[in-house]
C-alpha cells in the first residue's frame, strides 16, 4: 500500500514535469528537444547529487544545512590545490575532494551522534564555519580559469553518448544511492532510524551511528560537488553555492521526502531536483525575469509541503508514527 | 516541529547537574560577556569610549528585537526561518511607498503591516494547516525574498524622507540611540510576556509537551498563530529600524540574518527542542554577539571570519554543558 502511494507520488511528479516540458516547448519549440533536455539534466546534475545527500540525512530525521558551505570549502581547496600543483592527476584531486567533504560531513555527524545535539543547530554553526574557513584558506582571493589545468576543467565537459561526464556522474551517483538505500543494511537502518527511532533501537540499530553515516554520505557527495561546481563554472571563490542548501531541501520536499524522517525515495529526490531544474531553465525561455525564480521555488516548496501533509495524513499514521496518538487528538479536537 | 521532533518527556535543563554547576546558563553567559568586554578593552584602545560602545549596539539591536519573538517561537517548539526575508519584503514595500511620496508615519505603518501580514501567512500555514514550521518557513523565506527580488531586481530604493532617518540614526538622550531604547523596552515587554503572564506559561507548556498542553485546555493552534504573528510584527519593526539606518533598500538586505537570530536565541540558552529558555538569556546573548563582532571589527577582522567565531560560539556553548553532563555522569559509574 505504501509502495503504491510512492509510485503514485513519483508518477505524479513525472507527469507534472512532462506537462511543464510540453507547455514550455509550446512557447518555444526546441525546448523539449533531446539536446536541450540533456543540457537541462546536465545543468541539474549538481543539485541532484546534493539532493541525494540531503535526502539521506532527512530520512534519519535530521537536516544538513552545511552542504553548500561544504561545496564552497571543498571547491576552494581543490581549486587552490590544482592551481598550486598542476602536476597532480585529476583522480587524486577528486579523491581529495571526496575526503575533505567526508571529513566535514563527519564533523557534523560526530556532534549529532556522540553529543546528541540537534542537527539543525550543529549544521547552522558549521554552515558559517565552513564558509568562513574557505575565506581563511584563500584569503578572499579567487581561483580563476587560467590558473586551473585543462583536465581539471575539461573532464566533466567531455561528451559521452551525447551527455557530458558531469551528467553521467549524476547518473552513477543515483544508481549507487539507489543500491545503498534499497539493498544494504545501512539503507534499511537509515529508513528505520527516521521512521521510528525507538523501534529502530529495539531492532538493534544504532540510530546515532546511522545518522553519523548519513552525514558522512551527505558530506562526501558535497565534496564531490565542490570539485564539479568549480570545474563547471571555472572559478572558485568564497561565495559559491551560497544559499544552495535550501535548494537541496526544496528538491527533497518536492520529491515527497518527509521532513519528519523515514519516508522518501531516491527517485523522489531526483525528480524533485529535476522539477526545479526544468523551471530554472524554462524561465528565460518564457520571458520571465530570472529574479522571479526565487519566489517560484518558494511557492512550489509551500505547495509541496501542503500536498505531502495531506498524503501523510490520509494514511493510518498511528501504525507508522510515534506521534500518531497526538494526531488522533488533533482530529478529534 | 523542527526536523528533530523527538519529544522529551522531562523538561530540559530544570536542575540538571551542569546547570547547577554554573548556577545558571545566564550566569555563565554573563561571565562570557564580561570576559569578552575585558578582552576587547585590552585588545583595542578605542573600545572603551561611550560613543564607540553606543555604535556597537547597532550590531545587535535589530536582530535582538526579532530574536525576542523568535525565542518565544522556539520555546513553543516551532521555528521561523523566514524572518530575514520578511525584513527584506517589508523594506522593499517601504521603499516603493517612499518612491510614491508617502510620508514617514505611512512608511512605518506599511513596514509593520507587511511584517504582520507575512507573520499571518506563516501562522496560517503552520498553525492552521498544521505543517512542519521548518520547511514551511524555508518556503516562505524564498517566497518573501523572491517577491522583493521581483519588485527590485538588481536595483535599489533610496530617497526616504529626512524624518524617517530618526528610527535608525536618532538618539533619545546622550549616547542612547532610539534603537537601543526600543530594544530595552521590547526586552522588558517580552520578559513580562514570557515570564509573568498566562500566555508565557502556555508557551512553555506547549514546548514541553504539546500533547499534555492540549489536554490542559490550551488552545495550541491559536497560541502558535499568535507567536508567528508576533515574529512577523517584530521583523516589521526591525525592518523599519534597519531601512532607516541604511537609508536604502536592496533585495539582499538582511541576508543570512535568520541564522544569526537563531544563533542568538540558542546562545541565550533557549532549548532548540522547545520548552526552556528566558528572555534575559537572549538579551545577554545579544550583547555577547554584539561585543564579539564589534571587538573583532575594531581589530580589523573581516566579517566572514567573524562569522566563524559566531558559529564556534554557537557550537561550543551548546556542546559544553552536554560534555560536562556526560563527564559527570560517567564519574560515578
Is A38 part of any domain? no
Report pLDDT for A315: 52
Query: Reduced to 3 states, what is the DSSP secondary structure of residue B182?
Result: helix
Residues A190-229 pLDDT 10s: 999 998 999 999 999 999 999 999 999 999 999 999 999 9
Cell 533536455 sits at which residue?
Answer: A37
Count of structural domains, chain B: 1
Question: Residue B7 falls within a domain, yes or no?
Answer: no
pLDDT given at position B302: 85
Residue B303, in any domain of the structure: yes
- List beta partners, residue B157: B249
Q: Is residue A13 part of a domain?
A: yes
User: The domain containing residue B279 runs over which residues?
Assistant: 17-328
Cβ within 8 Å, pair B132-A131? no
CATH code, B253: 1.10.3470
CB contact under 8 A, A299 and B262: no
Q: Assess if residue B333 is contained within a domain.
A: no
Q: For residue B8, is it within any domain? A: no
Give domain status of residue B2, yes or no.
no
pLDDT band at B185 (very low <50, low <70, confident <90, very high): very high
Those of residues 159-178 in A touching chain B at CB distance below 8 A are none
Task: Return all residues near A272 (Cβ < 8 A) that are at least 6 apart.
Answer: A13, A51, A250, A251, A252, A253, A254, A255, A256, A257, A304
Interface residue A116 vs chain B (CB under 8 A): yes
Q: In A, which residues are within 8 Å of B143 by CB distance?
A: 294-295, 298-299, 302
* CA distance, residue B322 to nearest chain A CA (Å): 7
Q: In chain A, which residues have their Cβ closer than 8 Å to the Cβ of B135?
A: 249, 253, 259, 301, 305
Q: Which of residues A144 and B26 earns the better pLDDT score?
A: A144
Higher-confidence residue: B262 or A48?
Answer: A48
Q: From the list A124, A259, A326, which residue is nearest B263 (CB)?
A: A124
> What Cα–Cα distance (Å) separates residue B14 from each residue in A270, B27, B68, B259, B321?
44, 15, 21, 26, 13
- Rounded to a whole number of angstroms, the distance from the CA of B130 to the nearest CA of chain A is 8
Give alpha helix (H) positions in chain A: 2-27, 34-59, 67-84, 90-114, 119-138, 150-154, 165-183, 185-195, 197-202, 207-233, 244-254, 266-285, 293-314, 317-320, 324-332
Supply angle C-alpha A174, A68, B310, rounded to 5.
150
B130 falls within a domain: yes
Q: How many domains does one find in chain A? A: 1
Range of lowest pLDDT (A166-175, B151-160, B178-187): B151-160
Range of the domain at A179: 2-28+45-332
**Residue A216 falls inside a structural domain:** yes
Residue A132, domain member (yes or no): yes
Q: Mean pLDDT, to the nearest integer, of B109-130?
A: 95
pLDDT digits (tens, 9 = 90+) for B269-299: 888 888 889 999 999 999 998 888 888 888 8
Query: So what's the pLDDT on residue B11?
Result: 53
Q: Which of A297, A305, A333 sits opposite B135 (nearest CB)?
A: A305
CA distance A296 to chain B (A): 7
The parts of chain A modelled with pLDDT lower than 70 are 1-7, 312-333
Domain for residue A40, yes or no? Answer: no
Amino acid at each position: 500500500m505504501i509502495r503504491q502511494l510512492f509510485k503514485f507520488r513519483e508518477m505524479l511528479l513525472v507527469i507534472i514535469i512532462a506537462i511543464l516540458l510540453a507547455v514550455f516547448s509550446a512557447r518555444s519549440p526546441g525546448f523539449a528537444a533531446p539536446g536541450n533536455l540533456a543540457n537541462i539534466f546536465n545543468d541539474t546534475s549538481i543539485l541532484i547529487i546534493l539532493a541525494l545527500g540531503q535526502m539521506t540525512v532527512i530520512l534519519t530525521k535530521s537536516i544538513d544545512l552545511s552542504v553548500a558551505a561544504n561545496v564552497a570549502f571543498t571547491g576552494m581547496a581543490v581549486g587552490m590545490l590544482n592551481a598550486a600543483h598542476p602536476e597532480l592527476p585529476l583522480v587524486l584531486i577528486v579523491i581529495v575532494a571526496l575526503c575533505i567533504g567526508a571529513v566535514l560531513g563527519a564533523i557534523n555527524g560526530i556532534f549529532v551522534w556522540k553529543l546528541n545535539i540537534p542537527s539543525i543547530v550543529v549544521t547552522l554553526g558549521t554552515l558559517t564555519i565552513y564558509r568562513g574557513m574557505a575565506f581563511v584558506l584563500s584569503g578572499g582571493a579567487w581561483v580563476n580559469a587560467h590558473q586551473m589545468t585543462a583536465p581539471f576543467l575539461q573532464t566533466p565537459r567531455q561528451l559521452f553518448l551525447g551527455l557530458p561526464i558531469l551528467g553521467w556522474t549524476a547518473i552513477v551517483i543515483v544508481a549507487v544511492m539507489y543500491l545503498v538505500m534499497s539493498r544494504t543494511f545501512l539503507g534499511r537502518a537509515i529508513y528505520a532510524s527516521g521512521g521510528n527511532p525507538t523501534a529502530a533501537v529495539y531492532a538493534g540499530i544504532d540510530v546515532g551511528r546511522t545518522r553519523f553515516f548519513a552525514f558522512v554520505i551527505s558530506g562526501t557527495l558535497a565534496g564531490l560537488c565542490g570539485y564539479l561546481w568549480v570545474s563547471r563554472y571555472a572559478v572558485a571563490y568564497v561565495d559559491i553555492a551560497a544559499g544552495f542548501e535550501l535548494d537541496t531541501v526544496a528538491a527533497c520536499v518536492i520529491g515527497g521526502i518527509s521532513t519528519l524522517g523515514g519516508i522518501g525515495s531516491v527517485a523522489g529526490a531526483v525528480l524533485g531536483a529535476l522539477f526545479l531544474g526544468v523551471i530554472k531553465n524554462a524561465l528565460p525561455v518564457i520571458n520571465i525575469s530570472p529574479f522571479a525564480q526565487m519566489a517560484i521555488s518558494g511557492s512550489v516548496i509551500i505547495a509541496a509541503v501542503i500536498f505531502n501533509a495531506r498524503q501523510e495524513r490520509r494514511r493510518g499514521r498511528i501504525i507508522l508514527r510515534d506521534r500518531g496518538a497526538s494526531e488522533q487528538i488533533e482530529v478529534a479536537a | 516541529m523542527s526536523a528533530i521532533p523527538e519529544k522529551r518527556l522531562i523538561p530540559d535543563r530544570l536542575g540538571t547537574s551542569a546547570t547547577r554547576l554554573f548556577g545558571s546558563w545566564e550566569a555563565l553567559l554573563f561571565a562570557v560577556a564580561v570576559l569578552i568586554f575585558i578582552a576587547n578593552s585590552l585588545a583595542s584602545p578605542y573600545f572603551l569610549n561611550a560613543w564607540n560602545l553606543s555604535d556597537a549596539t547597532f550590531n545587535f539591536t535589530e536582530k535582538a528585537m526579532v530574536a525576542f519573538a523568535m525565542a518565544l517561537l522556539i520555546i513553543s517548539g516551532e521555528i521561523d526561518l523566514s524572518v530575514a526575508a520578511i525584513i527584506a519584503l517589508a523594506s522593499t514595500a517601504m521603499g516603493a511607498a517612499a518612491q510614491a511620496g508617502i510620508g514617514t508615519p505611512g512608511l512605518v505603518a506599511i513596514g509593520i503591516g507587511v511584517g504582520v501580514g507575512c507573520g499571518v501567512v506563516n501562522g496560517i500555514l503552520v498553525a492552521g494547516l498544521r505543517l512542519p514550521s521548518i520547511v514551511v518557513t524555508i518556503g516562505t523565506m524564498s517566497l518573501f525574498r523572491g517577491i522583493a527580488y521581483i519588485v527590485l531586481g538588481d536595483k535599489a530604493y533610496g530617497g526616504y524622507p529626512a524624518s524617517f532617518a530618526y528610527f535608525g540614526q536618532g538618539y533619545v538622550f546622550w549616547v542612547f540611540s532610539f534603537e537601543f531604547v526600543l530594544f530595552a523596552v521590547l526586552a522588558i515587554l517580552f520578559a513580562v510576556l514570557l515570564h509573568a503572564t498566562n500566555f508565557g506559561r502556555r508557551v512553555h507548556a506547549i514546548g514541553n509537551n504539546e500533547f499534555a498542553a492540549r489536554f490542559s485546555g490550551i488552545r495550541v493552534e491559536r497560541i502558535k498563530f499568535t507567536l508567528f504573528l508576533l515574529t512577523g510584527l517584530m521583523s516589521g519593526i526591525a525592518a523599519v529600524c534597519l531601512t532607516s539606518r541604511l537609508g536604502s533598500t536592496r533585495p539582499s538586505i538582511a541576508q543570512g540574518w535568520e541564522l544569526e537570530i537563531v544563533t542568538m536565541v540558542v546562545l541565550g540558552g533557549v532549548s532548540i527542542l522547545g520548552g526552556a529558555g528566558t528572555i534575559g538569556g537572549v538579551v545577554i546573548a545579544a550583547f555577547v554577539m554584539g561585543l564579539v563582532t564589534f571587538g573583532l571589527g575594531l581589530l580589523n577582522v573581516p566579517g566572514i571570519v567573524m562569522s566563524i567565531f559566531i558559529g564556534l560560539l554557537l557550537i561550543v556553548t551548546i556542546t559544553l554543558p552536554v560534555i560536562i553532563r556526560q563527564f559527570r555522569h560517567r564519574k560515578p559509574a
